């Protein structure tokens, strides 16, 4: 998994299937011209089956999943339902879901189910604020350790970690994280992974960044931030801007 990776998290957008189709097909065109970058779109569940089907260089993701495989769980979606639709990636533990009750324990259950189903989990972690005493580091460490609780060494390489500091989400490029601070944080995440799984495994895990990734900052974040890609929110809904991001990442 040494290709660069950009994941579009559409969140609860767009509002119609027509718009979703347009956005998907333009993104597909750009993705097909990239050489070194894998592109994933995670639309709302309801659009997935309409966007699936044709073989293309654009991969499908989902924004959530349930941890049980079948049964009486009203309103939930199972991993095998997603697999059947061609979904290969699922975002787990996004801060917007954690804010409405998704705990580290739930995250860990979802990761295990996804691994069993051979779907690649994108585990989101990130602090809500930074302080001068480094408390955010111990927060991050605990969040990573609890979210990965019970995940075995042989499976960890198949999980992508998306570092998304909550304070940088939904803003503009100038409010996003500084690339040198990102670099430090990525090193710290690898240190935590190394304590859990050893250095070689920690080095092999793919880490991407999310939080106001825009055309104006991705080149710098990629160059000095030590990440192999991005989880993009609002900028992935802007056809032109997202194409630009993809081209910049591919060239970086």
Among residues 40, 137, 205, 231, the one that binds ligand 13P under rule CB under 6 A: 231
Cα 186 to Cα 202: distance, rounded to the nearest angstrom: 11
Residue list 127-146, contact with ligand 13P (CB under 6 A): none
Cα 79 to Cα 12: distance, rounded to the nearest angstrom: 20
Residue 34 binds to ligand 13P (criterion: CB under 6 A): no
Residue list 46-105, contact with ligand 13P (CB under 6 A): 94
- 234 classed as catalytic: no
- 94 classed as catalytic: yes
- Active-site residue, from 96, 102, 164, 214: 164
Please give the residue whose beta carbon sits closest to ligand 13P in the complex.
Answer: 233
Cα 137 to Cα 192: distance, rounded to the nearest angstrom: 10
Cα 220 to Cα 203: distance, rounded to the nearest angstrom: 21
Here the tokens at position 178 are 């500084």
Preceding amide of 236 cis, omega within 30: no
Residue list 180-219, contact with ligand 13P (CB under 6 A): 210-213
Residue 147 binds to ligand 13P (criterion: CB under 6 A): no
Here the tokens at position 138 are 């111990």
Among residues 79, 93, 229, 233, the one that binds ligand 13P under rule CB under 6 A: 233
Here the tokens at position 114 are 């996804």
Q: Which is nearer to ligand 13P, 179 or 197 (CB)?
A: 179
CB 77 within 8 A of CB 66: yes
Helix, strand and coil percent figures for the chain, each rounded to 5? 45, 15, 35
- Of 30-38, 152-160, 200-208, 228-236, the window that binds ligand 13P (rule: CB under 6 A) is 228-236
Helix 239-251, helix 218-225: angle, nearest 10: 30
Among residues 164, 177, 207, 242, the one that binds ligand 13P under rule CB under 6 A: 164
CB of 187 to ligand 13P, least distance (A): 22
List residues binding ligand 13P (CB under 6 A). Answer: 9, 94, 164, 169-170, 210-213, 231-235
Please list the active-site residues: 94, 164
């Amino acid at each position: 998994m040494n290709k660069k990776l950009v994941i579009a998290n559409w969140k609860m957008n767009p509002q119609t299937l027509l718009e979703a189709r347009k956005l998907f097909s333009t993104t597909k065109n750009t993705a097909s011209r990239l050489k070194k970058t894998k592109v994933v779109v995670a639309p709302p569940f309801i659009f997935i089956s309409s966007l699936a089907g044709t073989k293309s260089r654009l991969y499908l993701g989902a924004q959530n999943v349930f941890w049980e495989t079948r049964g009486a769980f009203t309103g939930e979606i199972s991993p095998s339902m997603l697999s059947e639709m061609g979904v290969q990636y699922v975002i787990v533990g996004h801060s917007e879901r954690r804010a409405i009750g998704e705990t580290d324990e739930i995250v860990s259950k979802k990761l295990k189910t996804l691994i069993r189903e051979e779907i690649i989990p994108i585990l989101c972690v990130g602090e809500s604020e930074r302080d001068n005493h480094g408390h955010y580091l111990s927060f991050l460490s605990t969040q990573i350790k609890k979210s990965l609780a019970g995940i075995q060494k042989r499976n960890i390489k198949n999980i992508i970690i998306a570092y998304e500091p909550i304070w940088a989400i939904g803003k503009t490029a100038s409010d996003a994280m500084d690339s040198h601070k990102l670099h430090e944080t990525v090193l710290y995440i690898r240190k935590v992974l190394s304590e859990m799984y050893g250095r070689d495994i920690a080095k092999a895990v793919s880490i991407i960044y999310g939080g106001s990734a825009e055309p104006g900052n991705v080149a710098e974040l990629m160059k000095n931030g030590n990440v192999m890609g991005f989880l993009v929110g609002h900028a992935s809904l802007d056809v032109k801007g997202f194409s630009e991001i993809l081209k910049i990442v591919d060239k970086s």
